[in-house]
Amino acid sequence: MRNVATIKTTLSYAVALALTSVPALAAEASRAPAGTLADGSAVEVISLTNKQGVSAKILTYGATLQALSAPDKDGKFADVLLGYDDLKDYVDHPNYFGVTVGRYANRIAGGAFSLDGKAYQLPLNDKTNTLHGGGKGFDKQVWKVASVKSGPVATLVLTLTSADGDSGYPGKLDSSVTYTLDEAGNLGITFDAKTDKPTIVNMTNHAIFNLAGEGSPDGALGHLLTIPAKAYTPVDAALIPTGELKPVDGGVFDFRAPRRVADGIRDGRDPQIVAGRGYDHNWALDKGVTKTPQLAARLEDPASGRVLEVLTTEPGLQFYAGNFLDGTLVGKGGHLYRMGDGIALEPQKFPDAPNKPNFVSARVDPGKPYHHAMVYRLSVKR
């Protein structure tokens, strides 16, 4: 559980963001049953809605962002997130749609790392590696509702305690995720955690976006993407970073100016595109670690006019173009999801940072809590 000072800081930032954008209007938060797991655990869905009609739905299972509805240039609303209509599908067919991932987002080579000379082994759930926490990650647990509030900023606080040794990680970890929605269309997500012994933490949200509207037949490959980063982290055949920071230098990984995702995603002349089956890489953001969220990516759908800006305090951004979606998953509205039907833009520490001394450290110590603030900022370009 976060301390009071941290909660006040997070909420103060969200309120300030809202009040500097538009006059303070009431945004609403409500909660309802979403179903029950096989072990009897009850799951809720919490809805955050502003007066402009922008709305978000969050499941307590996995602290999952299930839906995000926003208008296009003609005022037509659509859900812009891939996912499922029902809780059962999130349980039976997990694919990280909109979930909170942790303790460690992305990959750790061999599922192994060391702290202070002691070796730790995590479950392997990505062939020879650990992906998104491994084992029963944060995405597969029911979070507790600590607070739901309407007001100038609609707010939801969820909490989860992970025991010492859970999935192989050291330290008892008290975590929280705070969702906020303001009248300007800013959906804030803040991750906080404290531990009782040295450990590693890297939390983010794994929303997969199609700004044309979930299930639209043309997918998201025509979206224009901008990433303010002059370097990225190349990977080996197992998608583990080599440790190099490679300049993007005008190639298929250069998104410093807006580019269509489709322009490079099938360029088999680049061995990194071959390794990732498209884009599934981390960019080293020029801004580095920041105290307040700064721009990590801008995504635009020219047809609908919808624009998504992703802001974060973290130094990296994983851009994943749904390369492993193969038409076998039936999502919302009975839609089959395929490669390129959605785009994930995941702010985080770099993949495999615990094993790469030159990367920003993911270590968290007692008395020095983990904090990551990010924002999904929605707007319309007419």
132 noted as active-site residue? no
With a CB cutoff of 8 Å and minimum separation 6, the contacts of 201 are 102, 103, 104, 173, 193, 195, 362, 364, 370
For residue 90, with 0-12 CB atoms within 10 Å meaning exposed, 13-18 middle and 19 or more buried, which class applies?
buried
Choose the catalytic residue: 214, 300, 314, 346.
346
338 labeled binding residue: no
107 labeled binding residue: yes
| Partner residues linked to 209 by β-bridges | 81, 343
- Whether the CB-CB separation of 215 and 333 falls below 8 Å is answered with yes
210 labeled binding residue: no
Choose the catalytic residue: 206, 223, 281, 372.
206
Q: What angle do CA 144, 150, 155 make, to 5 degrees?
A: 45
User: Using CA of residue 297, residue 131, residue 329, residue 42, what is the dihedral sign?
Assistant: negative
> Helices marked H in the chain — which ranges?
4-19, 87-92, 271-276
- Whether the CB-CB separation of 198 and 113 falls below 8 Å is answered with no
What is the DSSP pairing of strand 363-364 with strand 326-330?
unpaired
DSSP string, 277-334: TS-EEEEE-TT-S-SS-EEEEEEE-TTT-EEEEEEESSSEEEEE--TT-EEEEE-GGG
Q: What angle do CA 43, 343, 205 make, to 5 degrees?
A: 40
206 noted as active-site residue? yes
DSSP string, 71-122: E-TTS-EEE-B---SSHHHHHHS---TT-EE-SB-SEEGGGEEEETTEEEE-
For residue 291, with 0-12 CB atoms within 10 Å meaning exposed, 13-18 middle and 19 or more buried, which class applies?
exposed
Q: Would you please indicate which residues are annotated as catalytic (active-site) residues?
A: 206, 346
Residue stretches of the annotated binding site for beta-D-galactose: 106-107, 280
Binding residues, as ranges, are: 106-107, 280
